[in-house]
Structure 1
Amino acid sequence: MSGTETVLAAVTDEPLDPAVVDAFVWRADAGAVVSFQGIVRDHDGGRTVTALDYRAHPDAEAFLRACCAEVAERTGLRVAAAHRVGALTIGDIALVAAVAAPHRAEAFAACAELVETIKARVPIWKRQRFDDGASEWVGL
């Protein structure tokens, strides 16, 4: 990847490293790096969650890249996102998104926009597993 690229997007079954995503977006003119980590929590809707399984459409990374490119083009900022797929447990990071900007307000706004765009458009679905043995798909 060249130093002139403004977007990083990855879908992987490997654990995510937020430092890699943050490092991609940061440049000397950036006074703020705002990043988001979506972490597997132990509950949802009053039920105890024990694990999640994420599955992705074969073109999910292209969708993720398009979301990042759209936010980068609209804002003029460097953006990056990585989403994990496969079996995740409580505390694992499922999504990392980061934006660098000269000032914090624009970085916060762009990162929030990026996360919402990813959640709305990227074809990645999760199966929640509950402590009673039941499971449910979310996002189908």
Structure 2
Amino acid sequence: MKTPFISPSKPQTEDSFAITLAPLSIEEIYTKADHPGNGAVVVMSGTVRNQTDGQPVVALEYQAYQPMALQIFYQIAADVRRQWTDVNRLVIHHRIGRLKVGEISVLVAVGCPHRGEAFAACQYAIDTLKHNAPIWKKEHWQDGSSSWVSIGACEQEC
């Protein structure tokens, strides 16, 4: 059976993609990924941590080239659906603006009939987003200094 082509510019109507200044809600993202055919919903939450390489961080500031970043999100969805054809829903929301330690910067959720595919698809989605999306973060350190980095330039643990 042939897998249908899914255009990266036209996501599935059940999928949800956003870049927003508003705080992200795990409950909202979970609800968007939920579907009666799911046996699993995997949610990955990226949060602002209090240090980078041992240097105290007080905040992160995110910027994105939004039109291109959303196109990357759509492409990720198309890639996910080609590789994991049972995915029911895919949600990718990323925050921009200044975020304090502990705040959620990104949420990725995948709803699937089976947990293995849900975990794999979710990991692929966040790893690909971090590598390909035009999103930058500025780390604000406790000593008052700061520095911009592309999230794609981060190590896997960023």
Is the shorter-chain TM-score for this pair beyond 0.5, marking a shared fold?
Answer: yes
1:98 aligns with 2:95: no
Q: Is the 8 A contact 2:84 2:121 kept in 1?
A: yes
**Secondary structure at the residue paired with 1:94?**
strand
Q: Which residue of structure 2 lines up, in the alignment, with residue 120 of structure 1? A: 131
Q: Distance in 2 between matches of 1:33 and 1:71?
A: 15
**Secondary structure at the residue paired with 1:91?**
coil
In the TM superposition, 1:29-108 aligns within 5 A as 29-59=37-67, 60-76=69-85, 77=87, 78-108=89-119
Q: Is the 8 A contact 2:19 2:66 kept in 1?
A: no
Compute the TM-score of the two structures, normalised by the length of structure 1: 0.91
Which of these residues, 7, 24, 33, is aligned with residue 32 of structure 2? 24
Q: Is the 8 A contact 1:6 1:72 kept in 2?
A: no
Answer 1 or 2: which has greater strand percent: 1
Compute the TM-score of the two structures, normalised by the length of structure 2: 0.81
Q: Is the 8 A contact 1:53 1:88 kept in 2?
A: yes
Count, aligned residues: 137
Q: Distance in 1 between matches of 2:108 and 2:37?
A: 19
Q: Which residue of structure 2 lines up, in the alignment, with residue 15 of structure 1? A: 23
Give the superposition deviation at 1:82: 0.0
Q: Distance in 2 between matches of 1:10 and 1:65?
A: 11
Which of these residues, 138, 143, 148, is aligned with residue 132 of structure 1? 143
Q: Is the 8 A contact 2:61 2:139 kept in 1?
A: yes
Identity of aligned residues (%): 36
Cα RMSD for the two superposed structures = 1.4
Q: 1:12 to 1:25 in 2, by over 3 A?
A: same
Give the superposition deviation at 1:7: 2.0
Unpaired segments ≥5 residues, structure 1: none
**Secondary structure at the residue paired with 2:124?**
helix
